[in-house]
Amino acid sequence: MTEATWPSPAPGSAPLPKMVAAQAGLELRTLIRNGEQLLLTLIIPVLLLVVFSSEALISIGRGSRIGFIAPGILALAVMSTSFTSLAIGTAFERRYGVLKRLGATPLSRGGLIAAKAVTVLTVELGQVVLIVIVSLLLGWHPVVTAVSVVSALLVIVAGSAAFSGLALLMAGTLRAEATLAAANLVYLVLLGVGGVVFPLTKFPAAVRPALRLLPSGALSDGLRAALRYGAGFPARDVIVLAIWAVVGIGLAARFFRWE
């Protein structure tokens, strides 16, 4: 009778893509169980879409109200997920020592950031699908061509990178309570002055160029250029978002305190 042959032990960590996928799945499940985060990322943008799509609410000049507001709400959804939600969640993970404990696992810091990026993009995909469906039901007729769709996706990715860098900078340098207050305040300010639901033409001409340089202004302008006007690739807006992304991610990498 021969002895059973067992495979030799192979100690070591799992491949990086598998670890990133596992961490991203964990963060997605945590988000789904968090009613406050779902309110911020899904319910509020849809409610604002329905409320501000009313033609009688505010004049935007030529064109339908839904044609203006739908790209703005898409920008708001990106902002709520890649900035407000990410900043608050990461700040409290840092406060409770979650990031410190993850640092003791085989998952590297780069892997953790990659997992958060996958989580953000996955949530945004769901937001985009939901908002587009509701907008179409409200009478939205976007410009749908290969150029407009690819341009809109590039603007969303650039906007996500810009806001994620700013979120990590805030979460890694401020206390959790301060991040909670500051992230919500910035969210509300950009909602009002960032060209999301109110046309920048409603503001004094002297401040409009500065407002268009805000990440929210570039994001909403870029989405409208692609989906409302079919104006081709919005290079200026993508460049503005890329600059914000480089600055935010660079400063976050330099000053983020993991403990």
The tens digit of pLDDT for each residue in 78-107 reads: 999 999 989 998 998 888 888 778 766 777
pLDDT per position as a tens digit, 113-132: 888 888 899 999 999 999 99
Instruction: List, for residues 126-181, the tens digit of each pLDDT value.
Output: 999 999 999 999 999 999 999 999 999 999 999 999 999 999 999 999 999 999 99
Name the residue ranges covered by the structural domains of the chain: 16-52+62-255
pLDDT of 218 above 70? yes
Question: pLDDT tier at 253 (50, 70, 90 boundaries)?
Answer: confident
| Model confidence, pTM | 0.87
71-100: b or e for each residue (b if 16 or more CB lie within 10 Å)?
bbbbbbbbbbbbbbbbbbbbbebbeeeebe
Provide the 3-class DSSP secondary structure of residue 141.
coil
Phi-psi map region of 64: left, alpha, beta (phi>0 left; psi -120 to 50 alpha): beta
4-18, 19-33, 85-99, 146-160, range with the lowest pLDDT: 4-18
Q: Look at 202 and 183; give whichever has higher pLDDT.
A: 183
pLDDT at 54: 73
Nearest to 224 by CA among 73, 123, 84: 73
Whether the per-residue pLDDT at 27 is higher than 90: the answer is: no
Instruction: State what percent of residues in the chain have pLDDT above 70.
Output: 90
Distance, in Å, from the CA atom of 211 to the CA atom of 137, rounded to the nearest integer, reads: 31
